[in-house]
Amino acid sequence: MTSTPSSNPRVWAVVLGYNHPELTVDCLQSLAKATYQPLTVLYVDNGSESANCQKVMDTVSDCSVLRLDPNAGAAGGLNAGIRYAFEQGADHVVILNNDTTVHPTFIDHLVQAAIEHPKAGMFVPKIYYYDHPDTIWSAGSVFRRFPPVVYMRKTRRPDDGRFDEPQDLNYATFCIIMFSRAMIEQVGLLDTDYHFLYEDYDLCIRSREAGFGIRYVPAARVWHKVSMTTGAGTPNPKFWRTYGRSESIFRRKFRRYRWLTGWTHAIYIVARFVAEGNWYGFKPYIQGWRQGARDPLHPPPRVQDPPPAPRQILRNP
């Protein structure tokens, strides 16, 4: 299954979507303008209503489509796309939320960084807010020891150049990111014990501990319609319950990172709820935390493993 990297690596862009066909169409249409070649675009429909999946296929004709039913969670859905891309010979896979759009040259910059930094396994673009296209939503993520948290580097005003230097990172959000085949084959796929949230930081830790770097590539520019599908930052109890559960699972899997995953971090999160008056999120967060403390843990899946659930290839141009 291993391919031979070249000076012009084969890249697959995997877009994960769940309903919201208008978001998916915007994302796929922006990818259609990408200048990098060879590039294959794959839409993974993660258990959407069949009519919404069909809307995407009717509107965007020049992409492959893989459908999962039922919904496999964010990690499971992305894993299905990554597996399929590698089966077809990809050297690198770019994963994208469907609520993103991209600059036409962003993959060119990511691939150039991969060629220049062969020991890196992840390549992180500069991500702007879609509604404020000059303001940075994420320029990679870093660990702050106190209060203990991983936080995204961002700006409150238009980009002032402070995050214009390429560099190595400790963490990254997986809103949009490029993985190398070598890293995924050695480290494993996204951990499906998380439905969503924290599967990104989990893989970042595993990647760095295996010797693969995380490289920030500011020349690669993309835009994010923040939290359009997950309900992050809203009174949606499902989001806060999942948030608490994922944090609890992350704590159990990485006890060696005490400042990041232990009780100090949990107390800090609860204190933020109180300070921000977020009483609507407090109860479901605690419920999720308790659930995550009880749920069984599993090793991360490997790309070499057989797919865990049925998948349907609806289109493969």
Assessment of whether the complete model's pTM goes beyond 0.85: yes
Q: Check whether residue 82 and residue 212 sit in a common domain.
A: yes
- With respect to residue 1, please indicate whether it lies within any of the assigned structural domains: no
Q: Both 146 and 258 in a single domain?
A: no
Bigger pLDDT: 234 or 170? Answer: 170
Mean of all residue pLDDT scores within the chain: 91
Query: Does residue 2 belong to any structural domain of this protein?
Result: no
Confidence tier at 4 by pLDDT (50, 70, 90): very low
Same domain, 178 and 270: no
> What pLDDT, in 10s, does the model give residues 133-158?
999 999 999 988 777 788 899 999 99
Distances (CA, A) of 102 to 122, 202, 222, 253, 254: 18, 25, 4, 34, 33
- pLDDT score at 2: 42
The 3-class secondary structure across the chain, one letter per residue, is CCCCCCCCCCEEEEEEECCCHHHHHHHHHHHCCCCCCCEEEEEEEECCCHHHHHHHHHHCCCCEEEEECCCCHHHHHHHHHHHHHHHCCCCEEEEEECCEEECCCHHHHHHHHHHHCCCEEEEEEEEEECCCCCEEEECCEEEECCCCEEEECCCCCECCCCCCCCEEECECCCCEEEEEHHHHHHHCCCCCCCCCCCHHHHHHHHHHHCCCEEEEEEEEEEEECCCCCCCCCCCCHHHHHHHHHHHHHHHHHCCCCHHHHCHHHHHHHHHHHHHHCCHHHHHHHHHHHHHHHHCCCCCCCCCCCCCCCCEEEEECC
Q: Judge contact between 57 and 76, C-beta under 8 A.
A: no
Structure tokens at 130: 């879609």
Query: In the prediction, which pLDDT does 145 show?
Result: 77
- 262 — pLDDT class (breaks 50, 70, 90): confident
Residue 236 pLDDT grade (very low, low, confident, very high; cuts 50, 70, 90)? confident
Return the residue matching tokens 């995997």.
Answer: 14
State the residue for tokens 């359009």.
228
What is the tens place of the pLDDT at every residue in 283-305? 898 999 999 999 999 999 999 88
Domain membership of residue 19 (yes or no) is yes
Distance between CA 263 and CA 234 in Å, rounded? Answer: 25
Say if 45 falls within a structural domain: yes
If one counts the domains in the chain, the total is: 2
* pLDDT-based confidence at residue 255 (cuts at 50, 70, 90): confident
121 and 242 share one domain: no
Domain contains 47: yes
Same domain? For 66 and 157 the reply is: yes
Q: Is the same domain home to 113 and 254?
A: no
- Same domain for 286 and 220, yes or no, is no
Greater confidence (239 vs 104) lies with: 104
Residue 121 domain flag: yes
Angle between helices 199-209 and 237-253 (to 10 degrees): 20
> Do 127 and 151 fall into the same domain?
yes
* Category of 166 on φ-ψ map: left (φ > 0), alpha (ψ -120 to 50) or beta: beta
Which pLDDT belongs to residue 307? 80
Residues 160 and 26 in one domain: yes
pLDDT band of residue 208 (cuts 50, 70, 90) is very high
Question: In sequence order, which residues have a C-beta less than 8 Å from that of residue 209 and are 6 or more positions away?
Answer: none
* 241 and 223 within one domain: no
Question: What are the C-alpha distances in Å from 311 to residues 46, 65, 67, 130, 188?
Answer: 10, 10, 6, 32, 20
Residue 94 belongs to some domain of the structure: yes
Do 264 and 222 lie in a common domain?
A: no
Residue range 163-171: mean pLDDT, rounded: 97
The CATH number of the domain holding residue 151 is: 3.90.550.60
Write out the residue range of the structural domain in which residue 252 sits.
237-294
Which residue has better confidence, 5 or 181?
181
Query: The tokens 């303008």 sit on which residue?
Result: 33
Supply the pLDDT for residue 146.
74
* 110 and 255, same domain (yes or no): no
Task: Decide if 6 is inside a domain.
Answer: no
- Confidence class for position 229, pLDDT limits 50, 70, 90: low
**Least confident range of 10-14, 43-47, 267-271:** 267-271
For residues 55-73, average pLDDT: 94
